Structure formats: C-alpha cells, structure tokens
Structure 1
Amino acid sequence: MQIPAPSDLRLFARQSPTPMAVLGPDGVIAYANNAFTRLLPADAPFPEGRRPDELPFHARFLRVLEDGLAQVALTGMEQLVEMGDPSAPDRELASCRLVPLPGGEIVVEVHRHAEVERLRAALRDEKVLRRQSDMLRERGRLLFFDVVNELPVFVYMQRRDYSVAYANKKTLAFYGEVGGRRCYQMFGGRDDPCPHCPTFRVFDTGEPVDWQFTDDAGRTFHIYDYPFEDENGEPLVMELGVDITELKRVERELFQAQKMRAIGVLAGGIAHDLNNNLVPIIFNVDYALGKADNTPMEAPLAEALRAAYKASELVEQVLEYSRQQEVSRSPLHLTPLARENLAILQGTLPDHVRLDMDCSADNDCVLANPSQVQQVLLNLCRNAVQAMPGGGTLSVRLSNLHLDSQKEAPHSGLALGDHVVLTVSDTGHGIEPGSAERIFEPFYTSKSKSGGTGMGLAVVHAIVTCNGGTIHVDSVPGRGTTFTVYLPCTATPETKTLARETRPAARSTGRLLLVDDDAGALQAMQRVLRDAGYEVFTASSGQEGLKEFFRGKGRFDLVVTDQSMPGMTGMEMAARVLEHAPDAKVVICTGHVEARLEAQARLTGVAGFVMKPMSPRTLVENVNKFRM
C-alpha cells in the first residue's frame, strides 16, 4: 500500500479498515484511526497523546515495535516486522509495517494474519515481476547488440567526453580496437577534437542529424546520428556509418560522363562550321606556301599553317573525347605496336631523357583500334617527357594481371578476368595532390603557359574507358608520376593466309563532283584537286548536286559531298544518287562520324568518309583511294 502525503493521511486513515497510527518525532502517537483504537480494550485510555508503551499492549508487541522503530531511525527505510496480536499474546496473528514520513513522523500499520499473507504474496509477486522484467530487458539488450554487431554498416556509441562506449564488428574492422581511444583519435587520426562536430548537436538538441565524413584512409561514409542512453540512463549518441566510397566513385564517373555528353553536344554543333573554316585556311595557306619558296613570306606562311593544323588537331581531340567518332575495333597485339612507336619516339627524345622499356606481357591481345592505342601511348609518353625538363627516366611497361576476385584488385572498378597492363612512369616533378583528381577533365591543364590545351589526358581517359578499360594515376610531388592503364584481354585471332589482290593501276586523271555549302572550302578543295589532275565540277547544295550529277548523265568517277548542308544533307543526296545509279561512288566529307551515320552509310551504299579538316595531300590521297 502506498502511504499518502501527510496532509491527506487523516482522511485516508479514517476510512481504512487497517489499524493505523502516526508517531511523532518524540515517539508520541499524534494520530490513531478507529481501527487502531479498536485494538485496545474498551476501558483503555484514548491512544492520541500517549506513547505506545503507555497503552495496554502485550509486552512482545511493544518489544518488536521498539526494535522496528529503532531500525527505521537507523536506516531511514520502511520496515516490516512480525509480532503477536497486540491484544492477544497467545496468538501469532499480526505483522507491523513501519513507514517513515518527512519531518520525522512514522506511520504504524498493523496487519492481521490474512492481510500479512496477502501483503507478503504481493511483495513476492512484485519481486518476481521485477526479476522477470529485468531478465527480459537484459535479453532484449543482448539481442539488440547481437543484431547491431552483425550489421554491414559501422555502428558505435559515443559519450559526451568523446569516449567510445560501444563499437560493432564493422567499426573494429575499419578502425581497430577501441582501446580507450577518443572518437577523434579513432576515426580522424587527430590529437584534438574535430571542429564543429555534428554529433554534439544531438547531445544538445536531442534530435537526430545526418552528414558525410571522409576518413584519413579516403573512405567516405554517410553518417546518421541518433540520441541514445545506456542502461544507467547516461546520454549517448548512436552513430551509423554507411560506406558510400564506391557510390562516390560512380557519382564522379557519372559527372565525368555528363561533362563528356555536354562536350559532345558542343563538338557536334561547332565541328561542321569550324572544320569548314579550317579547310580553306589550310588549303590556301598551303597553296601560297608552295608559291613562296625562298621568299620572305615563306616563314610566316609556314607558321600560320602549323597553327591551322594545331587547331584542326584540337577539334579532332574534342571529337575523340566526346566519342562521337565511332571507330572499328579488332584483336590487336600491343607488344609490336608499342615497340614500333617507342622506337620512333626514342629518336625524338631529348638527350637528358632515358627510355626504359619492358614489354613482357605473355598475353598482349586486346580488342581495340590501333590508332587509338597509339594515341594513348604517345600522349602518356609526351606528358612524361614534359614533366622532366631537367632530365630523367621514362619507363614503359607491358604486363598481365589476372583477377579472380575483387579483393585482389589493385583498384576498384576492375572487371574480373585477364588484363593487359600498360604502365608509363616518369621521374619528374609529379602532380600536386589537389590536381590529381582533375587531370582527366577536359580543358584542365597545368601547362597553359607552354601551350597545353587540357585535352590530351581527357582523350586518353575517353579512349581507355570506351575500350572497356580503366586508367589510374599515382604521383608523389618531386618524385614522379605513374599512369596505369588496364585493358581487358581478348582471344588471339587465327592467322589466315590471304590471296594477294590485284588492283588496276590508279589513273592520274578523272571526273569529280564536289558538293559543299561553304564557298571557301569548296573553292579551296576544287583548286587542290584540279592541280592534282582531276576535272572538278562543283555544287553549293544537295539539291544542286543532284542536278549536276544527272546533268552529267552520271559520268562521274567519284562524288565527294559535305554532310551538314541546309535543305538536304550529304547522306540524303547520296541516297538519291545511289537509288538511280547503284554503281556510283559517293564519299561523305564531314567533321565527325556518329554511329548512326556510319550505319546509315553502310545501308545506303556510301563508299566511305573523308574527315575534315584535312591537308591537301590527304584529300588527294583519299580521292585516289575511293576512285579506284
């Protein structure tokens, strides 16, 4: 029974069937209810204002009561003492409950035998329930921590003093044993607390927070912090960390892909006009240079021609990076290609740069385009040479890597199976840590003062990934840089002996139809082809080209048409021509070839493509080739 507050005690006791009395600090009965008064004989004095030993209670009752009151005074805690019936010493029927009150008063409750048994039973039940509740709570706690310990995310609990109260298996696998370390020592490798730690907002507000954290090993986690408390009620913060390192890597690759698509759109939009402008510049400067031998105009014209070719190379790199030029791929052995190109490169190296080459790959066959692989190799080698202005060693290695599981992978993202590994290292000045992640971005360069365009490594990255491979860079400032390219191996093709084809000798003259909407490009190409001995007819649009073709009754050895023209594209014009003259040869002249355009050309019967911009010699060679 719960004892009411002293102010309500008289009202409660007056209605209670249980004998109750209140003893003051001086041991005098301050109040006794009717049930307590009925314990006394009818002629006994009224109990209030008297001490218990002044009333006609049995001696045993008084002795036990005195001992119980002494225990209450000593411990300050409630006591339950057994005694005989205060009015009938021969019967052991009662128990007395002594409850201390504020102010030094003590409540005396006298329970007869049946009430005592009920009270004892209630106390026993309460203890059993409390013990069962404690057992269930402990089982639930153990189950909770068993589950948390096996979670695939790191979970730990932190106190206000930065100490770690608990860490699950994943946390220990990442950061080792707790060993009394503070959280900033364990996770950040710091000697002092992290500034602006979000975890302490949970202690202050009691509200959960989430944030991201990158540890000193480069792993990135999304953190979820929740308010918690231990079994003693001490406030804690429970922290869950989800490893998003791989997600961040994919996110960076998607961002890179988005930039590539954006540049692809840009390249597709400007390539036609830019190439059309470069064609007459290159052709006319080349023509003028041929007429300016041994004159003061020769040097400036040669310089202008070099600049025009450099601009055309930049357009080609942008198109290569944007992957709008789909290239054919076939099984390719890298060792002979590397040896051939490195032998040529060695002759152009400065005296203070030494080439160290090791092509020891047993399986060097990949599915790739030779020109693209050559571009990757030479771009990486040129970068390495430029990084060693004071001299050093350029090392090129070809080796193999076989992966049976991702645990063995030297870098994330590598596919299982066999790889050819191309490694290009230098002993130069290295890459600054802040720049290492940006070197594959288009137009990012640290060599702007020396004429760098920022497209070389971007093109390398695009070619490697387009061929199903990956590229990684490791660099130490002042000690050098290593680029590692992984390309998946492919089956070595069977060697077949082909019969030698006999082709008729190329004619030195022929009749050509040249179609282009840009007057400058049209005039420049016409002049070059006429100087090469061809009879050239021109048209400034697709519609006009059709009229000229049928006006000439189809007696053209070759039709060379621009692709991007208003009104009618070159492909549409070619389809009309080939529909009426299936034996005609039509070549599309364009700045970039999309996969869809290439497929359409095969279906239509187009002979091939000539890429803009080109040199006068390249134009003539292509016309000679397609005219045969």
Structure 2
Amino acid sequence: MKHIYRQTLVDMLKKSIGGEAAEKAVLQAAISAGIASKQAYSPEEFSRICDELKKRGGPIRTIATIASDTTFTTVYYQKEMVRERGRKESLARMSEVLEREVAERTRQLRESEDKYRVIFENTGTATVILEEDLTISLANSEFERLSGYSGEELAGKKNWGEFFPEGDDILSEGESKAMTGRCAFRFHDRQGGIRQVFVTLGGIPGTAKKVVSLLDVTVSKRLEAQLMQAQKMQAIGLLAGGIAHDFNNILTAILGYGSLMRMKTEAGHPVLPYIDQIVSSAERAAALTHGLLAFSRNQEIAPKPININDIIVTIEKLLRRLIGEDIELYTDLCPEKLPVMADSSQIEQVLMNLATNARHAMPGGGSLAIRTIPVLLDDAYAHEHGLVRPGRYLLLMVSDTGTGMAEATRERIFEPFFTTKEPDQGTGLGLSIVYGIVKQHDGHIDCYSEPGVGTVFKIYLPLTETAAESGKTAALPAIAGGSETILIAEDEPGIRIVINEILTEFGYAVLEAADGEEAITMFREHGERIDLLILDVIMPRLNGMEALHAISRIRPGIRAIFMSGHPADILRKKGILHNTAPFLLKPLSPHTLLTTVRQVLDATDRKQ
C-alpha cells in the first residue's frame, strides 16, 4: 500500500510537473495535516510520512499548490485514495483530475504567453529582454528594424554594448536620466547609422533579467529642431521687417534730398562728389533694407512661369566675373524644361549670393558647380522638410570645393548678420536673403558641408505645368514733369516735404495732409482742382484706403497712388490696399516717383 500510495501521488505528479515539485506537494500536504514540520527529509523519512498519511482515519482533504517555473497545479486527494478497496478507481479519478488540471493550466499558460507575445511585438517600441550577463534572449520585430539584425542573429548576442559604443551605460544611467527627463541616447545600428532613442528600463520579478525598450525619436527630434529654427527665423524676420520699414521711411528723405541736391548742383561743382557719395550710400542702405525684407519674406515678388535653366545661362557670364578666374564654373543643366512659378530677379539674386558665398570659401581657387535635376518628393519628405505639398520639384544644386563649415557654423548660416568673414568683408545677409527668397517661393533649402571638403546647397522649388515665359527688360522711361495739382497724405513730415520738393521741382502744384482725415478735409476745400492723390497706406486716424473711399464719394473716379515701406502683397493680404491700385515701395527715388505720377495721369487722360 505504501508503495502504491507513493507511486500514485508522487510519480504521477512527477510526470505532470517534475520530481522535485511533486515531492514538495506531498510534503505540503503532510505539513497541512500536522504530520511533517519541515521541507526536506531522507527517502526513508519521506516514505514514513506517506505511510502516516495513509493511516490517518476519517476523511482527509488537503489542497497542495505546486509551483514550478511556469505551472500551478492544485491536487485533491482523500481518504478513499489510500484504501485498498477501490484503489484503481481512486487512482483513475486522481489521474483524470490531474490531467484536467494540467490541460487547463497549460491552456491558460498558452493564452497568457500569446497575449504577452502580442503585447511584446506591438508595443510600438524596439524591445529586448536581457539576461543577467546582458545576453539578448528575445527581441521584437521593431528592434530588428532599428538594429538591422534579424531575430536569429540577435538571440544569444552577447555584445549589447556595440549598440552604444560612445560609452553610454544605459542600464545604470537610463532610470536616473528618465527621472530627470534626460533619457535620450545615441543608438548605433548595424550599418553604423546613428538614431536618437529614448530608453525605458524594467526588471522581470524574481529574476535578474531586464526589459529594455527603445523609442526611436530621430525624426521627431529633427522636426523639433526644425520647428525651433523656423520659429527663431520667423521672430528675427518680424524684427527685420519692422526695422526695414522704419529705415525705408528715413531713406526716402535721404535719397530724395540727395537727388534734389544733385539736380540743382552744376557739373564740376566741388560739392558734387560729396552729394554723389550721399546718394550712393543711401542706395546701398536701400538695398540692405530690401535684403531684410527678403529674409523676412515681406519683399514683394512678381512670380511667373520661368525656366530656371534659362536664368542660369543668362547670368553665367556674370557669375564667372563674380567668382574670378581662379575658380572654375561648371553647369550641368537638365535638358528637360523645368518651369517654376518664380520671380526671375529673385532667382538671379539667389544664384549670385550663393556664388559670392562660394568665392569667399575658396580664397585659393577651386570649382563651383550648378546643377538642375527634376525630383519627385513624397508626402513623408514634404512633411519632414516643411514643404507646402508633395509632388514634382526642381532641385537646384550649388556646390563648391571650398573650406567647408563645421556643424556649429552650418546651423547658423541663414541667420541675418551672422558671418565668419572679416568685419569689412560682408554684411552677413547674403544667405539670409537666399533663405527668405526660397521660402517665399514655397521652396526648401538644405546645406551640407564638411570642413576641408566643401559645401553643397540644395534648393527645392515646386514645378508648374504652365509654360515658361521669356522676359525682356524694358528700357527706363524718361523723366517728365507736369502742371497738375497733387494732394499728398503722409504722416512722416520728412517724407511729405521731400516729395513736395521733388514734384514742385518738376512743375506740379502740391497740397499736403498729415493723415487721412486731413486729406478728406483738404479735398472738400480744394477738390475741384486736385488731379491726383498720393496716399501713404498706413496713417493715424484714417489709413490711405479709408481716405480714398471717403474722397471717392465726393468725386468718383479720382486717381490715386499708394505708397508704403511695407510690400504691396503684404498690405493686400491685410485688406488695406486695393489689388489694382498703383503702388510705390519706399524708399522712393525721384525717378520712380515722377515716372509713376506721369504714367497714372497720362493713362487717365487717355481714357477720358
């Protein structure tokens, strides 16, 4: 009976869950019944305990929970199981109970394993399980993608540190860095590529194993940096645009008075060179403010379908003179016509600024290459690089073999007034202007540079289906005066006076108003003899458009020219400038002012 009992209770459990756990189950039952008091006995003592369990009278019901690594089984046994009579039936029932328990627990185990396998594979992070010695025991598919290794190659891989060769001890630092929000590490994949990852660590209870999850944040980090750069450039652009507007008002007076002095000074007069220098300096300052407006994307442009290749061919000779004889210029232009909606003068400015930048980078000579290539950009690339839309683009590449730039310099090259040149060698606006022009044309610009190797600028401009136009430069019209009466409304006294002086010098009668309301009042008093209005767009009390609407009710069809230090397209977007109204951008040159005034007056006379 003793042999039968032990074989029944112990060997059957051994078959189900293992020998050590089976004997432990019997001892647990004996301890529950008060027969045993410890967990380890000799074989003879264990046999005695089994006999004692058999001898106990009355029904004995003990529940023993047996734990192995992965299985929990509950065993029920009763007094009937050790009786001689009905022994086979009891053993059969016990076997059936155990088999059902094992089958149920196995099913639950499989379900649990499948559930956690699905979770492990679909966490959205690259996850591995590391043994105590940092051997990889399991890796999910996302980690395979991130690392470049297959699951078979990763299983058993001992050199975990090769993924972090820069000395980052993520297992000791990861948790502390996560606590402080500094949990980004540089992960090296199989091909040597570097990814930015956030690390999360966890331990498996009861073991020395660790679960390591890596979240690839490379793209989001790059987008975050691009967003911060764009916001910084936008803030600088707003500042630059405001400064340019104020300077334009000042320069209008300087240019106007300087030009009047030049007109009234006889040839050969000793003061004339000084006047010429004043006007020339004012014109350079005006070009500088236009550069600020270009960077801030507040410069007015006149886009039309143009072929970039035609522009490159047109200014190629100019570029060769610009870069000098010690620098070779190569052009590799796509034979396909590549029309883009662009302002040709602005594209010329981009090419000249990049050529100038390359010349400074090659003081000992070198080569400059300009290439055009049609490319197709998908949604992902367009979104990542801030492009308006995916589709067909023109890639304009300008590369040099110059000194190149370090990363810290490259990150700042598009900032206004940032320059690595000597104090008198440049303004630091050249690449800022390029950046502004490209962005205003819904494009994107990238810079790749390596010290001692050279620099490549890649400009992406959206292609258009409209055929390119061939533009011809019109000759400047001759200056002509007149005898008409003109009402000027301008809140800046210096600008108002200089415009009055210029118009009076060329025969016009002029009335002045300091704002929109004063202009309306003056028109009510002198309206019958006023032929033309020159209105500043932005003025106190009433702006130029509001003043024109009020005056038009007094005399419909009155002619008007608007002027402002802000570009016309910006003012039109704000709804404070009519789409078809003649417009002058400050600073005004006398030639531009007089020519526009005469054209508007003559056009109206022809209609009448």
**TM over 0.5, yes or no?**
yes
Residue identity matched to 2:597? V
Tell whether 2:126 aligns with 1:154. Answer: yes
How far does the alpha carbon of each residue in 1:565-610 deviate from its partner, in whole angstroms, 9 at most, with x for none?
Answer: 2222222222223333333221111011365632677985763211
| Counterpart contact for 2:186–2:195, Cα < 8 Å | yes
Percent identity (aligned): 28
SS at match of 1:420: strand
Q: Give the aligned partner of residue 273 of structure 1.
A: 246
Tell whether 2:143 aligns with 1:165. Answer: no
| Counterpart contact for 1:330–1:369, Cα < 8 Å | yes
Q: Give the aligned partner of residue 478 of structure 1.
A: 452
Matches within 5 A, 1:354-369: 354-369=328-343
How far does the alpha carbon of each residue in 1:484-508 deviate from its partner, in whole angstroms, 9 at most, with x for none?
Answer: 1111211133989xxxxxxx99854
| Counterpart contact for 1:475–1:482, Cα < 8 Å | yes
Tell whether 2:225 aligns with 1:248. Answer: no
- Which structure has more helix as a fraction of its residues? 2
The 3 A distance-change label for structure 1 pair 391 and 411 is farther
Q: Give the aligned partner of residue 226 of structure 1.
A: 202
Displacement of 1:362: 0.7
Tell whether 2:483 aligns with 1:518. Answer: no
Q: Give the aligned partner of residue 38 of structure 1.
A: none
The 3 A distance-change label for structure 1 pair 238 and 619 is same
Displacement of 1:389: 2.2
The 3 A distance-change label for structure 1 pair 125 and 546 is same
Q: Give the aligned partner of residue 569 of structure 1.
A: 543
Q: Give the aligned partner of residue 65 of structure 2.
A: none
RMSD: 4.3
Residue identity matched to 2:494? G
Greater shift after overlay, 475-484 or 540-549? 540-549
Residue identity matched to 2:84? H
Partners of 2:43 and 2:180 lie apart in 1 by 49
Q: Give the aligned partner of residue 180 of structure 1.
A: 157
| Counterpart contact for 1:607–1:626, Cα < 8 Å | no
Q: Give the aligned partner of residue 198 of structure 1.
A: 173
The 3 A distance-change label for structure 1 pair 160 and 3 is closer
| Counterpart contact for 2:481–2:594, Cα < 8 Å | no
| Counterpart contact for 1:424–1:482, Cα < 8 Å | yes
Q: Give the aligned partner of residue 342 of structure 1.
A: 316
Displacement of 1:472: 1.2
| Counterpart contact for 2:125–2:214, Cα < 8 Å | yes
Matches within 5 A, 1:528-539: 528-539=502-513
Of the candidates 455, 464, 482, which is equivalent to residue 509 of structure 1? 482
Displacement of 1:475: 0.9
Q: Give the aligned partner of residue 626 of structure 1.
A: 600
Partners of 1:604 and 1:465 lie apart in 2 by 25
How far does the alpha carbon of each residue in 1:264-297 deviate from its partner, in whole angstroms, 9 at most, with x for none?
Answer: 5435654443322222223334444564866665
Residue identity matched to 1:173? R
Matches within 5 A, 1:201-220: 201=176, 211-215=183-187, 217-220=193-196
TM-score (structure 2 length as normaliser): 0.74
Of the candidates 326, 336, 348, which is equivalent to residue 374 of structure 1? 348
Q: Give the aligned partner of residue 100 of structure 1.
A: none
Displacement of 1:341: 2.7
The 3 A distance-change label for structure 1 pair 427 and 70 is closer
**Greater relative CO (CA pairs within 8 A, separation 6+):** 2
Gaps of 5+ in 1: 14-19, 26-68, 87-108, 497-503
Partners of 1:367 and 1:272 lie apart in 2 by 27
Residue identity matched to 1:382? T
| Counterpart contact for 1:256–1:441, Cα < 8 Å | no
Displacement of 1:560: 1.7
Partners of 2:275 and 2:44 lie apart in 1 by 116
Partners of 1:333 and 1:146 lie apart in 2 by 55
Partners of 1:475 and 1:412 lie apart in 2 by 18
Q: Give the aligned partner of residue 75 of structure 2.
A: none
Displacement of 1:223: 3.6
Look at both structures and tell me which one has the larger radius of gyration over its CA atoms: 1
What is the aligned residue count? 533
| Counterpart contact for 1:321–1:463, Cα < 8 Å | yes
Matches within 5 A, 1:18-57: none
Displacement of 1:316: 2.4
Partners of 1:201 and 1:577 lie apart in 2 by 72
Tell whether 2:210 aligns with 1:236. Answer: yes
How far does the alpha carbon of each residue in 1:298-327 deviate from its partner, in whole angstroms, 9 at most, with x for none?
Answer: 666555544433433333233333334454
TM-score (structure 1 length as normaliser): 0.72
Partners of 2:172 and 2:266 lie apart in 1 by 73
Tell whether 2:390 aligns with 1:400. Answer: no
The 3 A distance-change label for structure 1 pair 251 and 223 is same
How far does the alpha carbon of each residue in 1:410-431 deviate from its partner, in whole angstroms, 9 at most, with x for none?
Answer: 9866654322111111111112
Q: Give the aligned partner of residue 283 of structure 2.
A: 309
Partners of 1:323 and 1:585 lie apart in 2 by 30
